[in-house]
Amino acid sequence: MAAGLPPAPAALGAGLLGAVAFGDEFRHPALATDRGTVPRRLGLLTAKLLVSGATALLLAFLAVGCDLEVLYLVYGRELTQVPTDWLSLGAGWLGLLVGCAWAGVLAAGIFRSTTAGLAAVLAVPVVVVPLVQRALEGPSVRTAAGFATRLRELMLVQWPFGGERYLAAAARVVAQPVGSALMLSLTALLCAYLLTTLRSRVR
């Protein structure tokens, strides 16, 4: 997902599924008025995030499997070899789809519209990513290289089961402009949803 361009079809599909998960409730007033108190609403949000995240993971695996099968049939085995940096690539791909699904859920819950949820997913690469890229172009920004090693030295313990590999992969994903933009968008949407939920309770 490059800056200024729409997300990948699989990411867009995950965002659409997330937006539909919340947007349909507001199309039917009987469902929207039966959400209950704030704890029940937060529990409902958690359930929707879990279901949409699991659906996004399934969609990610299906998309990769179909792509590999098509590449194998058209070009042979050369283009279907597992790359050396498969861990960071896989973490980035899974995080992208889950993040898009969650962004769709949160935006649809805030604006009470499936269209608004899908628009929030599209706004990440078109609007937020270019802004994050400009912010990351400064000379004072540090990369995430060696983050796991520095953290391991700080804690003075060995990572079990090669955990530093997974932590380094996650750090590299977050350090990318798309990962940073998605994390920033999810944080803003979550805070906005909590504020609107608490404000409705005060009313």
CB-neighbour burial class of residue 168 (10 A; exposed 0-12, middle 13-18, buried 19+): buried
Residue 3 lies inside a defined structural domain of this protein: no
Q: Is residue 186 part of a domain?
A: yes
* C-alpha dist (Å) from residue 125 to 2, 21, 27, 97: 7, 22, 28, 13
Residue 1 belongs to some domain of the structure: no
Q: Is residue 103 included in any domain, yes or no?
A: yes
| 33 Rama class: left (phi>0) / alpha (psi -120 to 50) / beta | alpha
- Write the pLDDT tens digit of every residue in 37-90: 556 778 888 999 999 999 999 999 999 888 888 888 888 787 778 778 777 778
Residue 46's identity, in one-letter code, is T
Range of the domain at 117: 9-202
Predicted confidence at residue 62, as pLDDT, reads: 92
- Is 131 inside any structural domain? yes
The rounded distance, in Å, linking the Cα atoms of 74 and 4 is 30
User: How far is it, in rounded angstroms, from Cα 25 to Cα 176?
Assistant: 35
Give the pair of three-digit tokens for residue 46: 């958690």
194 inside domain? yes
Per-chain mean pLDDT for the chain: 76
Q: What is the mean pLDDT of residues 172-192?
A: 84
Q: How many domains does the chain have?
A: 1
Tens-digit pLDDT profile for residues 139-175: 444 544 455 455 445 444 555 555 556 666 666 666 6
pTM above 0.85, yes or no: no
Cα–Cα dist 116/15, whole Å: 11
Question: Does residue 2 fall inside a structural domain?
Answer: no
Region 24-40: mean pLDDT is 58
- The CA-based angle 157-161-163, given to 5 degrees, is 65
- Domain for residue 4, yes or no? no
